[in-house]
Structure 1
């Protein structure tokens, strides 16, 4: 278990605060995708978001990233209201979405000149790109084009593209779901290394319970009633967790049962499991 003092310190610094988010698509009278959803993310914390398909997990990430304006509610990043894409936020999609006419190196640097990014010199841009590529161990492939990359290399490139912006918060939408088991395991380990080394916070949307148990400090479950936080688990075990997987068996059973109830629309008590 993590020391109580470390957990307390982690909870003191909130880097992202979303309160009473509501979001609908189309006419506002339709059932909301998200309703009365609140979330606080602490510095250095990894939060995994689970839930049946269609409950609004990806929509939630878009709201938190400033890519989607909610109908109601507020999002604050380090105390500042979020009104659009923010330089402290990095988004990693399920599809790497690399530009085929750019090299790996150019893809990693793509976005550093966007209007919401702070202006930096060409020298600093090159330094950031080189550091991000080294972070994901792709130095030897920096001149390759996307068509020459494996699925794992493409996803590493997408992660490096976000890291080049030096975000304090990573938002990840099922980024490893299309990868084979070994590559996925390597990417999970890489994510933990990055968040630990830079004290980067992360919110990971995933359908994989085991991935959530291996990576997250907290696991949130969104239900179909509609798009509300209906359950939460805190995982106070050190990383890596492969060797303590047996200790997570009981939590896994609880999550599976809660997911089954959520799929059937059965209300689940909203409480924190430790």
Structure 2
């Protein structure tokens, strides 16, 4: 049954008609986003799927306030985003840990960013310890990055964001370099964190199954850079199994939409699906 996407609560983040191009000498030669809009409510997880080169990572940089779009804009709680925001956290595929700092010091490093509010020593320490406990690494406070596994390092990167108490998490393929078991553990952890704190999240991934397991909505880009192929709402409760019958049907639809877009060279008519 098809039904439109609706917002039951005010958006915590709203991107409107985003356009972005790269070029030389003032000429736009590479369009990466075109007229893209997105609304995100508290606790909602939106997965952005699509092949390489369609603007997924560029979209996250715009949503994080790290890049100014050519057209359109981003609002956080109704206020225009004009740079990095203290309540917007960004997690990359590479944990980007500083090798000379301990695990605890790496988690606290994000609290020193210029746009972050100044905290007293007690509050700062509590935030860091709480974030480390959230990702279950309290046994490794004094470890250095060279002593951590890939999964542990990614947990540290997530904790570094959580210490800032973000209302919005932006994640750029954060689990793609992990083995299957560790990746599944990290997906479960992310789902638990967003549910517990009502944290909104935008997850960029190439993995359709990961999107099906984690997302409340899936946005599919492709055909042409920044072009919207389709959008699906996933209403099955957590925890989910990616091989469940309804999710398998949506997976097939997404793959078919990607194939059609590749053959046509441009997005087919917008698709919207609701999964009960």
Distance in 2 (alpha carbons) for counterparts of 1:267 and 1:64: 23
Unaligned runs of 5+ in 2: none
Q: Measure how far apart 1:271 and its partner are.
A: 3.0
Runs of 4+ in 1 over 4 A off after TM superposition: none
| Residue 84 (structure 2) pairs with residue 106 (structure 1) | no
Q: How does 1:250-261 map to 2 (within 5 A)?
A: 250-261=249-260
Distance in 2 (alpha carbons) for counterparts of 1:80 and 1:148: 42
For the residue of structure 2 that corresponds to 1:224, the secondary structure is coil
Contact 1:90 1:162 in 2 (8 A): yes
Distance in 1 (alpha carbons) for counterparts of 2:233 and 2:242: 18
Task: Using structure 1 for the length normalisation, give the TM-score.
Answer: 0.94
Q: Which has the higher mean CA deviation after the structures are superposed, 218-227 or 24-33? A: 24-33
**Which digits, 9 at most, give the CA deviation of each residue in 1:133-170, with x for residues without a partner?**
00000001110000000000000000000000000000
2:270 — aligned with what? Answer: 270
1:190 — aligned with what? Answer: 189
Unaligned runs of 5+ in 1: 1-6
| Residue 238 (structure 2) pairs with residue 242 (structure 1) | no
1:38 — aligned with what? Answer: 37
Q: Measure how far apart 1:32 and its partner are.
A: 1.1
Q: Measure how far apart 1:25 and its partner are.
A: 1.4
2:23 — aligned with what? Answer: 26
Q: Per the alignment, do residues 230 and 144 of structure 1 end up closer, same or farther by CA in structure 2, a change over 3 Å counting?
A: same
Q: How many matched pairs? A: 267
Q: How does 1:165-184 map to 2 (within 5 A)?
A: 165-184=164-183
Q: Measure how far apart 1:105 and its partner are.
A: 0.3
For the residue of structure 2 that corresponds to 1:176, the secondary structure is coil
Contact 2:93 2:175 in 1 (8 A): yes
Contact 1:25 1:32 in 2 (8 A): yes
Distance in 2 (alpha carbons) for counterparts of 1:26 and 1:159: 33
Q: Measure how far apart 1:269 and its partner are.
A: 1.1
Distance in 2 (alpha carbons) for counterparts of 1:244 and 1:236: 15
Q: Measure how far apart 1:244 and its partner are.
A: 6.9
For the residue of structure 1 that corresponds to 2:153, the secondary structure is helix
Question: How big is the alpha-carbon RMSD for the aligned residues of Structure 1 and Structure 2?
Answer: 1.4
Distance in 1 (alpha carbons) for counterparts of 2:218 and 2:95: 24
1:3 — aligned with what? Answer: none
Q: Measure how far apart 1:11 and its partner are.
A: 2.5
1:17 — aligned with what? Answer: 14
